[in-house]
């Protein structure tokens, strides 16, 4: 890799020129260039769509697109599209889905669909002056956003509330306009941000045109949606009897198993180190659905992690309830998803993923994604409190290791047979390959 200096005009180069320029910095420049060219979709029209998702695009970076069947959610069977690069996740989701499909499936309910946005501003004239005029300011905000909101209102959504928030105990002269929105089946980021910028203009114009505000300074600092949507919330759970023959595990009795499982989840409730990994396992499933359906996984994750900290310490998003003979495993997670707008209609596979899911609305997609999260969480905690995850994970990871050593298909077949009964590790795989190669 050569030393880099400030690059100017990069965005104006065409794609080939960009690839050449970047490749010229690498020792393996031909490989870089060929790999990127080979990543282009064979249909130039489709490639153009991918290229225009973001900027300075050189090619495509592939992630596997997998499927987990047998997700019974509220009585309806789904086959879930999962985009994920980590081995074991799809297998874990499928395993838990099948197990629970035979025991009633996933139950899910929406607890709210509210989105949030804020105009952050400073005002040195005090709260009471703002409060006095706020009903009029709010009225003007609603009137001035009518053009932006009319379509959304036709679909039954729109602005649901606008309030003034006093934040002066945190930062002197700092206030917010906090608004809530119903964005129906769209994630709504553009809609919300447009409304907020119009609120900000209204606020500024109102202050500039009103004598009572003349001696004071009102400055809008920023207007932006909040990805923290604690009231855009879904609850999903599985439940089963605790009785022998329910077969939670081969080694432990059902009662022993659910007790160990409950303790495993309790640990994630009280310890943030464990909670982070526990919740990561939940997002293995959620992100995979979110990505497959063209949604914004950064927004979904940021929101979930903020929610996991809502009581002051970072904690588990899932919990266990044991009521006499019933074991219930519950995931409550906020997420803002869309099934219209954004990439959902543009990305060829996102569109087909939604089709595979029966073209769900946003609320149904929340239930589906959360079921994937709960399934992965169930499988992970189950493995952890019984046989440990490494054995199963390394078996799934075996093909990756074989690929690192450039194993042929025949070598892979022998290796898979051999490692059915042997511990998988890089060393063990390397030794095995050396042995059969010599
Ligand atoms: C690995 O991707 C996810 C797990 O670490 C989750 C967990 O520990 O609960 C297995």
pLDDT per residue over 305-346, tens digit each?
Answer: 999 999 999 999 999 999 989 999 999 999 999 999 989 989
pLDDT at residue 360, as a whole number = 98
- Ligand 1 pocket, residue 277 CB under 6 Å: yes
Q: Evaluate whether 210 touches 134 at the Cβ level (below 8 Å).
A: no
Catalytic: which of 15, 20, 86, 173?
86
Atom of ligand 1 at shortest range from CA of 274: 8
Residue among 227, 232, 357 nearest 296 (CA): 227
Residue 414 known to be catalytic: no
Cα 92 to averaged position of ligand 1 atoms, centre (Å): 11
Provide the whole-model pTM: 0.93
pLDDT at residue 162, as a whole number = 98
Catalytic: which of 254, 296, 347, 397?
296
Instruction: Read off the pLDDT band of 304 (50, 70, 90).
Output: very high
| Higher-pLDDT residue of 345, 260 | 260
Residue among 377, 340, 386 nearest 236 (CA): 377
Atom of ligand 1 at shortest range from CA of 389: 10
Question: pLDDT tens digit string along 222-237?
Answer: 999 999 999 999 999 9
d(CA 71, CA 66): 14
Residue nearest to atom 6 of ligand 1 (CA): 281
Instruction: Read off the pLDDT band of 247 (50, 70, 90).
Output: confident
Residue 178 known to be catalytic: no
Residue 280 known to be catalytic: yes
Atom of ligand 1 at shortest range from CA of 377: 9
- Mean of the per-residue pLDDT values of the chain: 96
pLDDT at residue 389, as a whole number = 83
d(CA 274, CA 258): 19
Residue among 372, 359, 369, 421 nearest 395 (CA): 421
Cα 438 to averaged position of ligand 1 atoms, centre (Å): 38
In 258-350, which ranges are E strands? 318-323, 326-334
Question: pLDDT tens digit string along 388-430?
Answer: 987 777 777 888 999 999 999 999 999 999 998 888 889 999 9
Give the CA dihedral 433, 435, 437, 438, nearest 10 degrees: 160
Residue 22 has pLDDT above 80, yes or no: yes
Residue 246 has pLDDT above 80, yes or no: no
Question: pLDDT tens digit string along 68-118?
Answer: 999 999 999 999 999 999 999 999 999 999 999 999 999 999 999 999 999
Question: pLDDT tens digit string along 115-163?
Answer: 999 999 999 999 999 999 999 999 999 999 999 999 999 999 999 999 9
Chain-centre distance for alpha carbon 139: 36
Atom of ligand 1 at shortest range from CA of 284: 2
Three-state DSSP class for residue 210: coil
Domains and CATH numbers, the chain: 1-62 (no CATH), 65-110+233-387 (3.90.770.10), 115-226 (3.30.70.420), 393-437 (no CATH)
Residue 48 known to be catalytic: no
Residue nearest to atom 4 of ligand 1 (CA): 281
């Amino acid at each position: 890799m050569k030393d880099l200096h400030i690059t100017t005009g990069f965005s104006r180069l065409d794609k080939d020129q960009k690839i050449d320029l970047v490749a010229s910095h690498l020792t393996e420049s031909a490989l870089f260039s060929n790999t990127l060219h080979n990543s282009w979709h064979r249909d130039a029209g489709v490639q153009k769509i991918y290229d225009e998702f973001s900027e300075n695009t050189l090619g495509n970076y592939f992630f596997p697109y997998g499927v987990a069947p047998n997700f019974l959610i509220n009585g309806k069977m789904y086959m879930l599209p999962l985009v994920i690069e980590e081995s074991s996740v799809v297998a874990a989701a499928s395993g838990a889905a099948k197990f629970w499909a035979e025991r009633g499936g996933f139950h899910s309910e929406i607890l709210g669909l509210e989105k949030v946005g804020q105009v952050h501003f400073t005002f040195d004239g005090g709260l009471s002056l703002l409060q006095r005029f706020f009903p009029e300011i709010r009225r003007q905000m609603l009137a001035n956003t009518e053009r932006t909101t009319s379509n959304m209102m036709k679909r039954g959504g729109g602005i649901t509330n606008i309030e003034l928030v006093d934040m002066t105990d945190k930062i002197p002269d700092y206030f917010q306009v906090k608004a809530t929105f119903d964005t129906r089946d769209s994630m709504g980021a553009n809609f919300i941000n447009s409304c907020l910028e119009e609120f900000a203009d209204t606020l500024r114009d109102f202050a500039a045109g009103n004598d009572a505000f003349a001696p004071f300074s009102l400055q809008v600092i920023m207007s932006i949606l909040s990805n923290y949507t604690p009231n855009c919330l879904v609850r999903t759970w599985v439940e089963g009897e605790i009785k022998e023959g329910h077969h939670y595990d081969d080694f432990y009795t059902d009662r022993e198993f659910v007790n160990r499982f409950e303790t495993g989840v309790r640990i994630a409730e009280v310890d943030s180190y464990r909670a982070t990994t526990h919740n990561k396992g939940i997002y293995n499933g959620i992100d995979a659905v979110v990505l497959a359906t063209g949604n914004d996984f950064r927004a979904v994750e940021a929101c979930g992690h903020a929610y996991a900290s809502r009581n002051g310490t970072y904690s588990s998003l899932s919990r266990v309830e044991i009521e006499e003979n019933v074991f219930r495993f519950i995931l409550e997670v906020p997420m803002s998803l869309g099934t219209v707008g954004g990439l959902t209609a543009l990305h060829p596979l996102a569109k087909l993923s939604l089709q595979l899911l029966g073209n769900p609305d946003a609320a149904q997609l929340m239930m589906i994604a959360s079921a994937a999260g709960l399934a992965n969480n169930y499988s992970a905690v189950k493995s952890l409190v019984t046989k440990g995850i490494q054995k199963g994970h390394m078996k799934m990871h075996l093909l990756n290791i074989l690929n690192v050593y450039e194993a042929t298909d025949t070598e892979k077949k022998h290796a898979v047979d051999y490692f059915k009964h042997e511990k998988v590790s890089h060393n063990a795989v390397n030794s095995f390959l050396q042995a059969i190669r010599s």
